[in-house]
Chains A and B, each alone.
Chain A
Amino acid sequence: MYPTKYHTPKTLSEAQKIFAAAASPAYLSGGHTLLPAMKLRLAAHSDLIDLSAIPEMHGFTQKADRLSIGAMTRHHDVANSALVAKLIPALAGCAGSIGDRHVRHRGTIGGSVANNDPAADYPAALLGLGAIIVTDKRQLVADEFFTGLYQTALQPGEILLQVEFPIPQIAAYAKFRSLASRYSVVGVFISQNNKKVRVAVTGAGAGGVFRVQSFEAALEKDFSPSALVTCSVDPAYLMADASGSSEYRANLINVMARRAVENPGKTSCYN
């Protein structure tokens, strides 16, 4: 790791000030992507600004028809929250399916969302639930937030504070894991809210997480696995790597979508 200066601001404004004054700063949340990259010398930052001591970035709040989760909330805490389990059980399951025990005790929802790894689970959950991303400057809907591989609408220095989830009637997540990394080769998050269906796919898109309108239309007509049998995704828009070809991923999107529909309220892991 190249030399870096580590900061632990106690307030948001302190964090913003440090960021503004530094040469090449980075915010640090769980650090599970950033720190390995820095250790491998693939990333270098003059200053690391750890956001974990800022109180308003933690915990759960229910506001009318929304569940708000602080950006620095750990995956383990989302997975084990009684409130999340009651309101959106598939989201609790999704958090509990990320990585391993060690990852879940360090990794945060905000870190995962801001990093937008094309195989991460949370981007699918946010897009699949139609979440709202609250930053220190503005609010964004998930459809506008995820803009490409490891790319988001966040501007330099902008801090992601909370994620607000509309509470759906049904939500479910099904994912097929890589045997090496345990990231999703394909993960499909589905929700139904006031007759509107959202289907979001992670792990497969050549441009990162995406929605599948044809699946959504089919499920809005008939929310059942059989409605998806004739649906397909064009492999041309999908990734290909050692975990599988784009055709294989297209198949898995269909299979995982059906399995999500078959298991409402649940997160199902395969492989």
Chain B
Amino acid sequence: MKISERAFRAVGKPLARNEDLRLITGKGRFTDDFNLPGQLWAAMVRSPYPHARIRNVDGRVALQLPKVLAVYSGADCEADGLKEINHNPVPSTKYDLKLTGKDGGAVFIGKHTLLPTDRARYVGEAVAMVVAETREAALTGAENVMVGYEELPFVVGTVEATQPGAPILWDSQTDNILVDSSFGDAAATATAFAKAAHIVSDVFHIGRVTGVPLEPRAALGDYNSETGRYTLYAGSGGAVRQKHELAHVLGVEPKDVRVLSFDVGGNFGTRNRAYVEFGLVMWAARKLGRPVKFRADRSECFLTDYQGRDLVTEVSLAIDESGKFLAMRASNLSNVGARCVSLSPLSKGSGLITGSYNIPLATLRSRAVFSNTMPTQAYRSSGRPEVTFAIERLIDKAATQLNMDRFEIRRRNLVAPSQMPYRNAVGSTYDSGEYEINMDKLLRLADWQGAAARREDAKRRGKLLGIGFANYVESSIGTPKERADLIVSPEGIEVVIGTQPAGQGHETSFAQVTADLLGVPFERVKIILGDTDVVSAGGGTHSGRSMRHASAVIALASDDLVSKAKLLAAQIFHVAEGDVEFDDGVFKITGTNITTDWFDLAKRLKELQLEDFPGGLWVRRDNEMHTPVFPNGACMCEIEIDPETGGIEITRYATVDDVGRCINPLIVHGQTHGGIAQGVGQALWETCYIDPESGQPQNGSFMDYGMPRFNNLPFFKTEISEVLSPTNPFGVKAGGEGGTTPAPAVIMSAVENALAPLGITGVEMPATPAKIWAAIQKADRSALAEYI
């Protein structure tokens, strides 16, 4: 029987999370919880300038201070032959859009050395490291390192960095543009635009934000001179990737690097890529013969955690008389910061510019540009909120321009289930989905019928009610390889796997899957993660890949394990392999009363020590799965604007999310709730604003970076829709990012809807009260007479 047709005991149940007791009783193992005897502390000397030549690094004063042991610069890294972090930023599965340099060639990414030898390229870049006996002494040492800077012209703006005459970050390049690729059928699109009855265009900047994980990033490095092995404790999005990248930096074999990443206090993409401090503490540990620890403070996190978004998109839609979409043009420009760490946001977004709609033709120009800013990285729902924002806001504008109902224009153009699998105009193939049904479910869930009465009620209270709506489709691709070890012991079953949760509940949902596949109680499955000496391979956690890849590889491994267990049972009971049947956790010998189970088999094997079963009853399975899935859904919210203050209150928020098979609804709802908060945060509160005049980041603490708070958000109504994906055994899509993907679009749709009586459009994110009030002052306020 196909897995997707089976009845499940654990899968689909809202089981409480296995990890929660550990985490809420202080038994989590976060990076800073680890300390080694004799450990030293590192502190970074960071550039105060957005762009400056480094003349020299003088550590003489710092080295005179008590407890300061060493001052290291980029020259020291170079002298020791340390290599750059080989980020490999271009997404490379068969299904990722192929981004290239300007001439179609390789993408120049800018060398990411641990410490620069030539220039500082953004405010906050580490230019030297001080190591001391204590953290305080290291920080004092860092204050006393004299760096000779020569300030250079700089550029921080996304569009500004592309312009002729902009300061160039990398000497080997003629400008700052590192990616320039075009997709789609340009000629046919041009023809469609030429005959269109309506053309709707806009430009949007989806600004820069940061992930703000609760746990600041930290690293503890050690080196064993006897074994020649390095050890790193560092929470990340996947220890195996860090192991390989850091081995390259240090110039050693991957086997000589062990990375431990257990509990991680928030990732959201910020921790997926290696940080310079990770390599630095390992290198310093070897040089000084003692472990070295680093922990960023909150200001360092705001400045130097990999940041998110920062995309400028110019979009146009060609529409016929009846409101059918004919063609689309988009030009997307991604600000990668001072060097290119990841092109995932640009690539992911590029494949989804047409959103949930059947737009037969499209052309897309995708560009990426360097600037004197912290590098950007995939941030929760990498690239998808940006393009969802563009298409959904553009459709709202089209509805206004064509004087059509905004739901009707969407219905007329949604991809229909009968079109699945649907190949969009830039080549992405959507696996499955019932987009219009999502919309209908949502309109009921959100009580669209009652909205008009609520609008009148708000008006009586002097408030402008706005209703926001957005559909979305996103892609979940991610690193294609995953490995699972299934190990049976008399006590239980261990699953060793290379994903890395940061709150997603893998120890629960993976155990649910394993329990049902092997027919064992959920409580007897244990998930092992995070130590590269135990977890030999694995793709980490990003792009909504973990549940899908884990369930697929565990399913394959389970089949292998069942075969192996049948062989074992045959040997134990001296029967032919074909005489052993397996059903729901029970092995039965045909024609006898003999039955056994996993744990009994493991116990007997332990006693017998059969030579065909070295290491016991266990299997290792690798799986490579490139085919992406396309989670999708619809989202609606209501807000009330106080026209006197510009203040916004979100009064209702509802989503319908097709996550494919939902393994644990409690976890998926939680993921959706958190995802919504993060997406709404960008729309209303969060920004990493960099002053173009000074190049200085303006949001360096919680005093000036607005976070989502529970009392600024309503209770969410979230409904899970399970349209199983045909691409993997359980039919999983993904559930971690759908909350975020439509959120900026739906909030800004509501803001514009609320302000429609005043004719206000184009409020930029974050839509702060001050911005809304200023827009109201500029507008024709006669319509407000009814409110105030």
Q: Do the two chains bind? A: yes
Q: Which residues of B contact A242 (CB under 8 A)?
A: 689, 698-699, 704
User: Given known contacts A180-B704, A180-B706, is B774 in contact with A245 (CB within 8 Å)?
Assistant: yes
Asked if B34 is at the interface of the complex by the 8 Å CB criterion, the answer is no
Q: Would you call A181 and B704 a contact (CB within 8 A)?
A: yes
Question: How many residues of B sit at the interface, in one of the four size bands?
Answer: 20 to 34
Other-chain contact of A271, B297, B698, B769 (Cβ < 8 Å): B769
A171 → chain B closest CB, angstroms: 22
Asked if B559 is at the interface of the complex by the 8 Å CB criterion, the answer is no
Task: Return the chain B residue nearest A241 by Cβ.
Answer: B704
Q: Would you call A180 and B702 a contact (CB within 8 A)?
A: yes
Asked if A244 is at the interface of the complex by the 8 Å CB criterion, the answer is yes
A69 → chain B closest CB, angstroms: 27
Q: Which residues of A contact B707 (CB under 8 A)?
A: 180
Segment with Cβ contacts to B, from A18-26, A52-60, A247-255: A247-255
Asked if A43 is at the interface of the complex by the 8 Å CB criterion, the answer is no
Asked if A83 is at the interface of the complex by the 8 Å CB criterion, the answer is no
Q: Would you call A180 and B139 a contact (CB within 8 A)?
A: no
Q: How far is the CA of A146 from the CA of B642 in the complex (A)?
A: 32
Q: Which residues of A contact B644 (CB under 8 A)?
A: 251, 255
Asked if B419 is at the interface of the complex by the 8 Å CB criterion, the answer is no
What's the dominant secondary structure at chain B's contact region? loop
Other-chain contact of A244, B685, B699, B770 (Cβ < 8 Å): B770
Other-chain contact of B769, A2, A181, A244 (Cβ < 8 Å): A244
Q: Which residues of B contact A270 (CB under 8 A)?
A: 642, 645, 647
Q: How far is the CA of A243 from the CA of B766 in the complex (A)?
A: 12
Q: Would you call A179 and B768 a contact (CB within 8 A)?
A: yes
B134 → chain A closest CB, angstroms: 11
Q: How far is the CA of A251 from the CA of B143 in the complex (A)?
A: 43
Task: Return the chain B residue nearest A254 by Cβ.
Answer: B644
Task: Return the chain B residue nearest A179 by Cβ.
Answer: B706
Q: How far is the CA of A235 from the CA of B47 in the complex (A)?
A: 37
Q: Would you call B685 and A180 a contact (CB within 8 A)?
A: yes
Asked if A176 is at the interface of the complex by the 8 Å CB criterion, the answer is yes
Q: Which residues of B contact A82 (CB under 8 A)?
A: none
Kindly name the residue among A2, A40, A247, A248 whose own CB sees the greatest number of chain B CB atoms within 10 A.
Answer: A248
Q: Which residues of A contact B594 (CB under 8 A)?
A: none
Q: Which residues of A contact B642 (CB under 8 A)?
A: 270
Asked if B76 is at the interface of the complex by the 8 Å CB criterion, the answer is no
Asked if B684 is at the interface of the complex by the 8 Å CB criterion, the answer is yes
Other-chain contact of A248, B143, B704, B712, B774 (Cβ < 8 Å): B774
B126-169: CB near A (< 8 Å → 1, else 0) gives 00000000001001100100000000000000000000000000
Task: Return the chain A residue nearest B707 by Cβ.
Answer: A180
Count residues on chain A whose CB falls below 8 Å from chain B CBs. Answer: 22
What's the dominant secondary structure at chain A's contact region? loop
Q: Which residues of A contact B136 (CB under 8 A)?
A: 1-3
Q: How far is the CA of A270 from the CA of B648 in the complex (A)?
A: 9
Asked if B582 is at the interface of the complex by the 8 Å CB criterion, the answer is no
Q: Which residues of chain B in 691-708 are interfacial with respect to chain A, using CB atoms and an 8 Å cutoff?
A: 698-699, 702-707
Q: How far is the CA of A247 from the CA of B646 in the complex (A)?
A: 13
Asked if A41 is at the interface of the complex by the 8 Å CB criterion, the answer is yes
A175-191: CB near B (< 8 Å → 1, else 0) gives 01011110100000000
Q: Which residues of chain B in 755-777 are interfacial with respect to chain A, using CB atoms and an 8 Å cutoff?
A: 768-770, 773-774, 777
A115-145: CB near B (< 8 Å → 1, else 0) gives 0000000000000000000000000000000
Q: How far is the CA of A217 from the CA of B305 in the complex (A)?
A: 52
Q: Which residues of B contact A247 (CB under 8 A)?
A: 777
Kindly name the residue among B140, B698, B699, B768 whose own CB sees the greatest number of chain A CB atoms within 10 A.
Answer: B768
Q: Which residues of A contact B773 (CB under 8 A)?
A: 244, 248, 251
Q: How far is the CA of A180 from the CA of B139 in the complex (A)?
A: 28
Asked if B299 is at the interface of the complex by the 8 Å CB criterion, the answer is yes
Q: How far is the CA of A1 from the CA of B702 in the complex (A)?
A: 19
Task: Return the chain A residue nearest B644 by Cβ.
Answer: A255
Q: Which residues of chain B in 279-306 are interfacial with respect to chain A, using CB atoms and an 8 Å cutoff?
A: 297, 299
Task: Return the chain B residue nearest A244 by Cβ.
Answer: B770
Q: Would you call B770 and A243 a contact (CB within 8 A)?
A: yes
Task: Return the chain B residue nearest A243 by Cβ.
Answer: B770
A204 → chain B closest CB, angstroms: 12
Q: How far is the CA of A231 from the CA of B225 in the complex (A)?
A: 76
Q: How far is the CA of A40 from the CA of B703 in the complex (A)?
A: 13
Q: Would you call B703 and A248 a contact (CB within 8 A)?
A: no
Other-chain contact of B703, A2, A180, A244, A245 (Cβ < 8 Å): A180
Task: Return the chain A residue nearest B139 by Cβ.
Answer: A41
Q: Which residues of A contact B712 (CB under 8 A)?
A: 179
Q: Which residues of chain A in 1-18 are interfacial with respect to chain B, using CB atoms and an 8 Å cutoff?
A: 1-3
Q: Would you call A179 and B685 a contact (CB within 8 A)?
A: yes
Q: Which residues of B contact A245 (CB under 8 A)?
A: 770, 774
A186-204: CB near B (< 8 Å → 1, else 0) gives 0000000000000000000
Q: Would you call B645 and A255 a contact (CB within 8 A)?
A: yes
Q: How far is the CA of A166 from the CA of B3 in the complex (A)?
A: 76
Q: Would you call A176 and B698 a contact (CB within 8 A)?
A: no
Q: How far is the CA of A3 from the CA of B137 in the complex (A)?
A: 10
Other-chain contact of B702, A2, A3, A181 (Cβ < 8 Å): A181
Q: How far is the CA of A255 from the CA of B788 in the complex (A)?
A: 12
Q: How far is the CA of A20 from the CA of B707 in the complex (A)?
A: 43
Q: Would you call A176 and B647 a contact (CB within 8 A)?
A: yes
Q: Which residues of A contact B706 (CB under 8 A)?
A: 178-180
Q: Which residues of A contact B684 (CB under 8 A)?
A: 179
Q: Which residues of B contact A243 (CB under 8 A)?
A: 768, 770
Q: Would you call A248 and B770 a contact (CB within 8 A)?
A: yes
B693 → chain A closest CB, angstroms: 15
Q: How far is the CA of A41 from the CA of B142 in the complex (A)?
A: 12
Q: Which residues of A contact B770 (CB under 8 A)?
A: 243-245, 248
Q: Which residues of B contact A181 (CB under 8 A)?
A: 702-704
Residue contacts A-B, CB under 8 angstroms, 17 given: A1-B136, A41-B143, A176-B645, A178-B706, A180-B685, A180-B706, A242-B689, A243-B768, A243-B770, A244-B769, A245-B770, A245-B774, A248-B774, A270-B645, A270-B647, A271-B645, A271-B769
List 10 extra interface pairs beyond A180-B707, A183-B703, A270-B642, CB under 8 A: A41-B139, A179-B769, A180-B703, A181-B704, A242-B689, A242-B704, A248-B646, A248-B773, A251-B645, A271-B769
Chain A: residues with CB nearer than 8 A to chain B?
1-3, 40-41, 176, 178-181, 183, 242-245, 247-248, 251-252, 255, 270-271
Please provide the 3 A-B residue pairs with the shortest distance between their CB atoms, ordered closest to farther: A244-B770, A180-B706, A179-B706
